[in-house]
Amino acid sequence: MAKLDLGLFGQHSVRHVRQTEVAECGLACLAMVASFHGLDIDLNTLRRRHAPSLRGASLKSLIAVADQLGFASRPVKLPLDALGDLHLPAILHWDMNHYVVLERIERGRALILDPAAGAARRVPLAEVSHHFTGVALELRPAAGFEPVNQRQRLHLRQLWGRMRGWKRAAAQTLALTIVLQAFTLASPYYMQLALDSVVPALDSNLLAVLALGFGLFTLFNVGASLLRGFVLLSVGTTMGYALATNLARRLFRLPVEWFERRHVGDVLSRFQSVQPIQDALTQGLVGSLVDGVLAVLTFALMLWYSATLALIALGAFLLYALVRLISFGFERDAREAGIVTIAKEQSTLIETVRGIVTLRLFGREAERHVLWQNRLADATNAQIGVARIGIWQQAANTLIFGLENVVTIWLAIRLVLSGGFSVGMVVAYLAYKQQFLTRVASLIDQGIAFRMLGLHLERLGDIALEEEDRGFGASGGHDSPFSGHIQLKGIFYRYSPTDPLILNGIDLDVPAGSHIAITGPSGGGKSTLAKIILGLVNPDGGEVLIDGVPLRRFGFRSYQSQVAAVLQEDSLFAGSIADNIALFDEQADPEKVMRSAVMAAIHQEIMAMPMKYETLVGDMGSALSGGQKARVLLARALYREPKLLLLDEGTAHLDYQTEKAVNQAVNNLGITRIIIAHRSETIANSEISFILDGGRMDSMVSTCS
């Protein structure tokens, strides 16, 4: 079990890059080493140029990418005691399935930058021996290497520039805030008048007038405060909603491969970065402007009272600003570690809840609890790191401004004794000084918060800067309906540029209305081929023709609106059976829903349920059996009345008689069908079958008429 670590690590010269996708630790390590040598490139840009494989990166693939970045690579196999002889920073093969960066070795400890972890760690060499596999990769800039900045950043203006109404709301908030601050500026003067004019003269009438005037000012101030609160609530809610919906719209339009490479907890955690950006665009932006202006005005008043005292306060402010700037790097690393580790903990918890049946069957609840507990400990360590930095900052704040207050009071009282100050002036000055220090401290905090937005913008940039799925581009000019004829010509596909071809020149002609089956060894690329046929995955080479027209010209959205499929990873959504068959169509046709269920051989079982078609399916279909779920998914596909139906093991959960009934009903539709299956009964029902093996497609004998 992981132990809670209350320590902080020292600064390091290599910029830490955290991996986002599941299998991109190698790319992240290359980005770290490249940045050390002056090639500042972000992971998003590197990923788009050199797409990583979902199955991980081999040393050979890392060398190929490093060569394109302008580095000369030298893979070495060495014992642990020779690590210090490496040209550092170097990439180490770690735990047999991971890569990390070794920056340097000092006093028996290795400074390790792990792309899957938080900040840099100083790991004792004895512990390194438990992880290091003995393989390392040295990288040196080759001839012609150019250190340039190739980082692509998401800027704040790209988010707020598309929003309407925020400028007007910000102006209203600014005006109301100035009214509030005017009251704050006037209050110390009220105390000075009361002490220096009313008390010596014993003038109760003047005191009453002052009290009445400032009382009315207070009521006016309360009204302005209420209005400002409602304006901030309105604009904050509106902007937060707009940011979240725009981000979600972008997310839902990203390629399928993007989701396959990320944990669900990490994706969800990125949405939490919307909140600090929302605060910055509403309260933070206006607050910074007001604090800056009024801090200057307050400092001018302080100078009018005493230049010496004002300069002491200014010196304390500058010293505190220096402390915050020095600690910013530590704070940013700690906050980033907190975000990432919490995302991992949430991912583990979500996966555990989803797989509780499997865990219960295998009796692995305790082991899974230990795994989650380790992730929770990592998240807690990160939160402790943030809190620890906050404690040091607060201690510095207390020390600096505490000593400043002692010196200020000492000098102010000396001025009173010498006749340069009245008692009322001392009280008023101390109030103005407190306001000044409060505002400038808030200004520093807001400045740090704005700099910290870079962390949140980097996380949102993984969504906002990613290219949308090609299906959302130009739809093409082909308006004719799809007849069902599809052709594949010379289709090539590999998981990454350095992986072997999984589809090697596939040719396939499926006439309209035909019924074919594709079989072959598991892991041979059948499901990938299905996604290429459906336009969900872009092949590396070759062309998909729809009625003789290239898919890109026919239009992805037009094509996908006329096809349907049941894929292995398909799932049901929370709602009723009818909702899932119609996929929550707002204008669902009940008769069409029932007709689809009849063809899928699930109608009788639905009618036997107490709520019939309004029966809830539970979480991802947990209330249904495997066969029932498969047939509801099939009914959902048939509800679209497609011209092409593709089933990837879509009938694997059905018994022979039920599958026969389903096949007979679908046969009567006369649509094109492509079945991916292993069962001989399913394959035998097709007109012709193909075997996909070794990246190539071969036809088998016809099996039925």
- Catalytic residue numbers read 25
DSSP 464-481: HTSPPPGGGS---S--SP
Residue 497: strand, helix, or coil: coil
Q: Is 274 left (phi over 0), alpha (psi -120 to 50) or beta?
A: alpha
* Three-class DSSP category at 462: helix
Contact between 310 and 299 under an 8 Å Cβ cutoff? The reply is yes
Neighbours of 48 (CB within 10 A): 12
| Nearest partner of 690 among 507, 487, 486, 494, judged by Cα | 507
The whole-angstrom separation of Cα 238 and Cα 244 is 10
Are 705 and 687 in contact by the 8 Å Cβ rule? The answer is yes
Which residue(s) pair with 123 in the sheet? Answer: 110
Helix (H) / strand (E) element for 488: namely strand 486-493
DSSP per position, 103-152: EEEETTEEEEE-TTSSS-EEEEHHHHTTTEEEEEEEEEE-TT----B---
Q: How far apart are CA 502 and CA 531, in angstroms?
A: 13
CA 325/CA 433 separation, integer angstroms: 23
Distance separating alpha carbons of residues 120 and 111, to the nearest angstrom: 7
639 touches 592 (CB < 8 A): yes
Phi, psi (degrees; rounded to nearest 5) at 458: -60, -40
Residue 595 and residue 638: Cα distance in Å, rounded? 9
CA distance 406 to 421: 17
Rounded distance between C-alpha atoms, residue 289 and residue 110, angstroms: 46
Is 488:544 a contact under the CB 8 Å cutoff?
Answer: yes
Query: Using an 8 Å Cβ cutoff, are 625 and 615 in contact?
Result: no
Question: Both tokens of residue 279?
Answer: 């605060």
Q: Rounded to an integer, what distance in angstroms lies between the CA atom of residue 464 and that of residue 254?
A: 10
What span, in angstroms and rounded, lies between the C-alpha atoms of 462 and 378? 23
Three-state SS string over 521-537 comes to: CCCCCHHHHHHHHCCCC
